[in-house]
C-alpha cells in the first residue's frame, strides 16, 4: 500500500509543479524559469508580445478568442489592448508587416513564433532576448550571443538599455561577456522578469492545450488514487479468510 501511495504522490507532485524552470547547463543557456500556470505572467507576456513583437512576428496558430479564454481576459480587453491589426475576435494573430517588407529590411520574412518554444525551448528564447548587443559591423547594428549574426534588431532595447560586448583577450572574435553601458526603462532584474514573462507567453502559445491537460490530469490522478485505495480494500476483504 505504501508503494502505491508513494508512486501516486510522486506523479501528482510532478504534475502540479509543472514548470519549465529547468536549467539548460548543457547548452550554456540560463534557466528561463517559466510557469504557464502563472496567469499574471502570461498576461504580462501577452502585453509585451503585442506591443513589441507582433509588428513583425505572427502567431498564426493562436486566435484572439482562445488567448482571451485561457488568459482570463474579456473580449473587450483583448480587442482594445492586444489587437492592433483590426482582426476579428475569432481570427488568428497576424503580424503588421507584409512578407515583402520583411524580406526587404531583414533579408527574409520574420518567422512565425507560434511554435518557437516547441522548436528551441523556453530557455533558448529567454536567453536570446537577453543576449542582444550593439555591433556596428552588422547591417541592423545589433548582434546576439545566443544566435550570432541574427538579422533581427533588439525589439526591447528601450526596456533593457544598450549592451556592448567585451571580447576575450585570446580571441578578439569571441564574446566573453556583455556589459550594460546605457540603462533602459527597466532595471536588469525587471528586464529579466519581463523576458521571462514573454517566454512564458510563447510557451503557452506553442501548446495551449497544456493548461487544460494539466487541470484534467489532477482529477485523473485523484480518481486513480481513490480507485487504488478501493481496489486494495476490496482485495483485503476477499483474501481476509485465506491463510
Annotated binding site for heme c: 53, 56-57
Which three cell numbers mark 205?
Answer: 502559445
Return the sign of the alpha-carbon dihedral for residues 52, 58, 61, 66. positive
* Alpha carbon distance 125, 141 (integer Å): 20
Q: Residues forming the annotated binding site?
A: 53, 56-57
Q: Which of 21, 96, 90 is nearest to 52 (CA)?
A: 96
Amino acid at each position: 500500500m505504501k508503494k502505491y501511495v508513494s508512486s501516486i504522490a510522486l506523479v501528482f507532485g510532478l504534475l502540479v509543479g509543472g514548470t519549465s524552470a529547468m536549467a539548460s547547463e548543457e547548452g550554456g543557456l540560463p534557466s528561463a524559469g517559466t510557469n504557464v500556470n502563472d496567469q499574471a505572467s502570461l498576461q504580462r507576456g501577452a502585453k509585451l508580445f503585442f506591443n513589441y513583437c507582433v509588428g513583425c512576428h505572427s502567431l498564426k496558430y493562436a486566435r484572439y478568442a482562445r488567448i482571451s479564454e485561457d488568459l482570463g481576459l474579456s473580449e473587450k480587453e483583448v480587442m482594445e489592448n492586444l489587437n492592433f491589426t483590426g482582426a476579428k475576435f475569432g481570427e488568428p494573430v497576424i503580424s503588421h508587416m507584409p512578407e515583402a517588407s520583411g524580406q526587404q529590411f531583414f533579408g527574409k520574412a520574420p518567422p512565425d513564433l507560434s511554435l518557437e518554444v516547441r522548436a528551441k525551448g523556453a530557455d533558448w528564447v529567454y536567453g536570446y532576448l537577453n543576449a542582444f548587443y550593439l555591433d556596428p559591423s552588422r547591417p541592423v547594428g545589433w548582434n546576439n550571443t545566443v544566435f550570432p549574426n541574427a538579422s533581427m534588431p533588439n525589439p526591447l532595447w528601450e526596456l533593457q538599455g544598450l549592451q556592448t560586448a567585451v571580447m576575450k583577450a585570446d580571441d578578439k572574435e569571441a564574446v566573453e561577456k556583455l556589459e550594460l553601458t546605457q540603462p533602459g526603462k527597466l532595471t536588469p532584474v525587471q528586464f529579466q522578469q519581463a523576458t521571462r514573462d514573454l517566454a512564458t507567453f510563447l510557451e503557452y502559445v506553442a501548446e495551449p492545450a497544456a493548461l487544460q491537460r494539466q487541470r484534467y490530469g489532477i482529477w485523473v490522478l485523484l480518481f486513480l488514487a481513490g480507485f487504488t485505495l478501493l481496489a486494495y480494500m476490496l482485495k483485503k476483504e476477499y483474501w481476509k479468510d485465506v491463510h
